[in-house]
Amino acid sequence: MLEKEEIISPALEDLKNHYRSIITLLGEDAEREGLLKTPERVAKAMLTLTKGYHMDPHEVLRSAKFQEEYSQMVIVKDIDFFSLCEHHMLPFYGKAHVAYIPNGYITGLSKIARVVDIFSHRLQVQERMTLQIKECIQETLNPLGVMVVVEAKHMCMQMRGVEKQNSVTTTSDFTGAFNQAKTREEFMNLIRQR
């Protein structure tokens, strides 16, 4: 059985103190039994949810970059992700679908999912995250084209403000061969198949 990853960060103590202050400012007693360990739990959660700042997605792709003459579309679809909206620090979550057309090099399939994880584990907006995933793959593998589609629900729209429970936001970005409508259509048809 795998051990739980222990959060070790020089920021942990400062974050705990800030969250203790926030709890007090909200009108709660931070010394109440149920809240005693909350500042530490929240601090550790935030460090986990933002661990992507300390990871290099380009290096992840390079660590499993292989020469291969395959030149058809490679798709990794339905990649679950969770992120934090940078405007309200509330979660948004959904699925990312990523395709690339190799140009002499491929990468390990799990590395595509790891790139999604790295960019989603930062304070984000969905539009930027979509662009960053695309650019990272394009820059690192230099494929004939990359396309990324992200579908997500945003808790900042569900819990506050407009309070729309079932809305889904879809973003996409693409390069190279995906500039051709036929190639984009092939990708969209393939990710819709269940």
Catalytic residues: 85-88, 126, 154, 156
Q: What are phi and psi of 55, to 5 degrees?
A: -125, 145
β-pairing, 145-154 vs 123-124, is unpaired
Distance CA 53, CA 29 (A): 33
Residue located via tokens 């693409």: 174
Q: Annotation-wise, does 85 bind a ligand?
A: yes
Q: Annotation-wise, does 136 bind a ligand?
A: no
Q: Annotation-wise, does 88 bind a ligand?
A: yes
Distance CA 151, CA 171 (A): 7
Burial class (CB in 10 A: 0-12, 13-18, 19+), 169: middle
* Secondary structure class of 143 (helix, strand, coil): coil
Residues 6+ apart with CB under 8 A from 165: 158
Characterize 20-31 residue by residue with b for buried, 16 or more Cβ atoms within 10 angstroms of its Cβ, and e for exposed.
beebeeeeeebe
Residue ranges at the known binding site: 85, 88, 156
Annotated binding residues for Zn(2+): 85, 88, 156
